[in-house]
Amino acid sequence: MRSGADYLKAIGDDRAIYVDGQRVRDVVDHPAFRPIAVTMSELFDKAADPASGMAFTAPETGADANRVYGIPRSREDLTAYRLAVDTWARHTHGWVGRSPDHVAAFVAGFAAHPEVFSSGERDLSANVLAYHRALLDQSRYVSYAIIPPQVSRATTAHAWDGDLVQAGVVEETSEGIVVRGAQMLATGGPVADDIFVSCIKPLTDDDRDFAVSFVVPVGTEGLKLYCRRPYAPAATSTYDYPLTTRYDETDALLVFDDVLIPWANVFVDRDVTAVRRQFHDTGAHVLGNWQAQNRFSVKLRFLAGLARKVAAVNGVDKFPGVVEKLGELASLASIVESGVLAAEYTAAPDDAGFWRPGKRAVYGAMGLQAELYPRALAILRDLVGGGVLQVPSSVADMHNPETRADIDRYIYSPNAPAEERVKLFKLAWDAVGSEFAGRHHQYEMFYAGAPFVVKGYTFRNYGFEEPLAEVDEFLAGYGID
């Protein structure tokens, strides 16, 4: 099992990451990336610790592996998989969306159905299986970029001005495909080992050149990552920004300057149907999004705890109006947790023996996420009031005896001396109001697609046949006579 130190060593390569007009020399030592890299390394150390129970013997390799990379092949496997995912999510309290288990779930789904990758002109299924085995053996951290850059959504990329703006195949050689163009938005990309690149938005027959799927090591020559402004470097201390200083994953646009992707790394080569089938027919999408809902459920539980604590410190937690708000928050958290568990309860094996979480439950929880998360934040925001701003500018004020005396005298609560109260309210601000918090708001609304796309998944996976049949049967039971 990979250690955190092994992971940190591996990402210290010559990758081309750009921030503030500069090429980053070493992500592991850079203030934007070191904090999240250390958090990721903690996840690997946790998985390698036998006490975590995350290891299993992978049937594909016969060796020890981290369960989050495995294909659940029985109900017991599925439960063990969820517990492994949950162990990692609890370590970050749900504040890291693209921990390595997210894309790993997609690759496991692909490997459960290699036939999807053999239907085009080339049989690339062996590449998928080999890559899955590499993940099991090496616990690689894979991020993904599967959305075309936001140029225009009125058409797909073939109609855009400019040649290969969306990442696509410019040339084929005996060694592989040469890729040019951009793709968004690789969360965690700068600190990943590899990035999976494809397109989950529907493509037309005219978009064949963009209908690819492949993995690329982040350090590959010609691949550049343009990061949004990182928040961690501006955070004054962990006391002031306890979430930003640990969990700022970064998000990056990928740019391919004619990058050779060797055949061994190609899963789909210019095949519109296979690109769509890889996500939905293999079960990759439902497993990956079950992982995501589990992570989300852990985060909502954390927010519920935070809201309850804030209310108690402010002495309002017994007021009926506040109990109602906390009850609503508890209800939101419970709905998602119940969806995660219901997906396990309704799971069933597919024709390849891959135990897929129940679709109705997974997509049912996901469909509400874009409303549910803003509502949860609104309740917390309501409860904290101005307390999140009635705090000293930074931890430095806590260390200066001149300012500290006033802080101790005026910024306290009966059940929380100043140091504790300020700490709690600074955490609350990092959850609802900081730039990190704003990015999380956007993340929860969009990470699985725009809300209209996610509700489309819910619509298609609910299984309307059964309720429609019930209504028809009911209607057939009476008439004008």
Ligand X SMILES: Cc1cc2nc3c(=O)[nH]c(=O)nc-3n(C[C@H](O)[C@H](O)[C@H](O)COP(=O)(O)OP(=O)(O)OC[C@H]3O[C@@H](n4cnc5c(N)ncnc54)[C@H](O)[C@@H]3O)c2cc1C
Name the residues that contact ligand X, by CB under 6 A. Answer: 98, 144-147, 150, 153, 184-187, 251, 439, 442-443, 446-447, 449-452
Distance CA(411)–CA(405), nearest Å, equals: 10
CB of 405 closer than 8 Å to CB of 418? no
Cβ at position 322, least distance to ligand X in Å? 31
Closer to ligand X by CB, 65 or 275: give it. 275
Contacts of 142 by beta carbon, 8 Å cutoff, 6+ apart? 100, 103, 104, 107, 135, 192, 193, 194, 195, 196, 215
Distance CA(462)–CA(442), nearest Å, equals: 25
Choose among 181, 184, 177, 265: nearest CA to 226: 184
Distances (CA, A) of 201 to 158, 185, 367, 449: 13, 13, 17, 9
Closer to ligand X by CB, 154 or 471: give it. 154
Closer to ligand X by CB, 421 or 439: give it. 439
- DSSP assignment of 172-237 equals E-SSEEEEEEEEB--TTGGG-SEEEE---S---GGGGGG--EEEEETT-TTEEEEEPPPSGGG---
Cβ at position 333, least distance to ligand X in Å? 21
Report the Cα 302 to chain-centroid distance in Å: 17
Choose among 403, 441, 402: nearest CA to 422: 403
Cβ at position 469, least distance to ligand X in Å? 30
Distance CA(68)–CA(136), nearest Å, equals: 9
Cβ at position 144, least distance to ligand X in Å? 5
Cβ at position 63, least distance to ligand X in Å? 29
| DSSP helix/strand/coil, 353 | coil
Choose among 399, 417, 400: nearest CA to 408: 417
Cβ at position 408, least distance to ligand X in Å? 39
Contacts of 400 by beta carbon, 8 Å cutoff, 6+ apart? none
Closer to ligand X by CB, 146 or 164: give it. 146
Closer to ligand X by CB, 183 or 245: give it. 183
Beta carbons within 10 angstroms of residue 38's beta carbon: 14
Cβ at position 313, least distance to ligand X in Å? 30
User: Side-chain half-sphere of 146: how many Cα atoms within 13 Å?
Assistant: 23
Q: Is 153 exposed, middle or buried (0-12, 13-18, 19+ CB in 10 A)?
A: exposed
How do 213-217 and 194-197 pair as beta strands?
A: antiparallel
Cβ at position 444, least distance to ligand X in Å? 9
Closer to ligand X by CB, 88 or 447: give it. 447
Report the Cα 255 to chain-centroid distance in Å: 21
Cβ at position 460, least distance to ligand X in Å? 15
Closer to ligand X by CB, 277 or 325: give it. 277
Closer to ligand X by CB, 7 or 436: give it. 436
Closer to ligand X by CB, 279 or 354: give it. 279
Cβ at position 438, least distance to ligand X in Å? 10
Cβ at position 147, least distance to ligand X in Å? 4
Cβ at position 158, least distance to ligand X in Å? 17
Closer to ligand X by CB, 153 or 409: give it. 153
Choose among 338, 50, 28, 301: nearest CA to 191: 28
Closer to ligand X by CB, 101 or 344: give it. 101
Closer to ligand X by CB, 154 or 475: give it. 154
Q: What angle do CA 439, 299, 29 make, to 5 degrees?
A: 55
CB of 245 closer than 8 Å to CB of 232? yes
Q: At what angle do helices 435-446 and 418-432 cross, to 10 degrees?
A: 40
